[in-house]
Amino acid sequence: MPSHIAHNKIYKDVFSELPERMKKEHRYTWSKYKIFAEGHDLIYSFLLAAPHKAIKYYKELPRIRDSEIQALSINYIDRLYESNQLDETKLFLYGYLIHHFFDAKLHPFIIYQTGDYMSSGEAGFYHQLLENMIDALLIKRQGIKPKSYLIHTLVNTTESLTNDTRYVIRESFYETYGYEKFDKLFANYNKNVKRWLLVMMHDPWGIKYYASKPFSTFIKSIKALQACQFRFDGSEAEKYLNNERSQWNNPANKDDTCNKSFDDLYEESLAEISSMISLLDEAINDKANNNEIKSIVPNISSTHGYEDPTLKLVYMKDNINIRRK
């Protein structure tokens, strides 16, 4: 949460907050770092990476994505020391964690506002539209017109993972989730996502937008087919970001209330994640034990921020009436 622009921005902002000792090391150049900017969203993108497995594994995706992040970190780090490419191998883990904990901080707010994003009805559609609006706003704040944004440049696919890194990814994901050949999924996704963003999302002349209008009902039912997602002007998101700081609750717990805005949550997540990555890097360098790793990486869901991934999303605001004109 939200979509590509917001995740790319948090990665870049976290990178800027890293200690100088990390940024001076070659592995922390931005071009290398952003290879992993999609993090665990790639798990929801089987259609880009392994179409033949999409139906088979679809119901398992929330479990893989939202649970056991602490166990995954420990299993990954245990194998990380076997790698001859420690620099690159660490970066994959950091990218995955940044994405997970950014979602854990922002998802409760977005879900409260729009409804359960796993819903096959309008709630899922609203969730996607608000994410798109926020992305458009973040582009506008940079002084860029959303419709001409080169979204496909966000993904760096020019470098392939080393065999060492692929081994650590493959074995740690299998041990944690029982999922085989996750390294291959990631490699395939990295190759295809750039093409997908270019074909589906880049629409500077509005051709895809206007050509898709006659099929709007069908497109709304399949979120991945919503072309030209940045044709909002950016300002449309402002009224949904709680800038007035009204009280809202976690959609999994009505007693967990908050009055923070989207921007408040973003800044809070930036501070927390930057600190976590810095501490984790020190711990890995010092070959910390599992208990020390657990003290740095909390075992929380990226959907609602609690440890129990089975909690139901039931305490949500009525769907806000976001509709594409």
Sign of the dihedral through C-alpha 40, 43, 46, 49 = positive
Looking from the CA of 25 toward its CB, the CA atoms found within 13 Å total 14
Written as one string, the DSSP assignment of 161-229 is PPHHHHHHHHHHHHHHH--S-HHHHHHHHHHHHHHHIIIII--TTSHHHHHHGGGHHHHHH-GGG---T
Cα(146)–Cα(154) distance, integer angstroms: 14
Q: Hey, how many other C-beta atoms are within 10 angstroms of the C-beta on 187?
A: 17
Is residue 154 classed exposed, middle or buried when 0-12, 13-18 and 19+ CB atoms within 10 A define those classes?
Answer: buried
63's tokens: 């479990």
163 to 26, 98, 175, 187, 265: CA distances (angstroms): 19, 23, 18, 11, 37
Residue 260: which residues within 8 A CB-CB, separation 6 or more?
A: 109, 242, 245, 268
Residue 55, pLDDT score = 46
Contact of 79 with 168, CB cutoff 8 Å: yes
Look at the chain and count its residues.
325
Q: For CA atoms 72, 117, 218, 203, give the dihedral sign.
A: negative
Take residue 97 and report the two structure tokens written for it: 């964690």
Q: What is the pLDDT along the chain (325 residues), one digit of tens a residue?
A: 446 788 888 888 998 898 888 877 656 565 565 666 665 565 555 444 455 554 455 555 556 667 789 999 999 999 998 888 777 788 888 888 998 999 999 999 998 988 776 665 566 667 777 888 888 888 888 888 777 777 767 665 556 778 888 899 899 988 988 877 778 777 766 666 677 777 777 777 777 777 777 766 665 555 545 544 556 778 888 889 999 999 999 999 999 999 999 999 999 999 999 999 999 999 999 999 999 999 999 999 988 999 987 788 888 887 666 654 4
| Residue 248 bridge partners (DSSP) | 258
Dist. CA 38–CA 188, nearest whole Å: 13
114 and 319 Cβ atoms separated by less than 8 Å? yes
Read off the pTM: 0.86
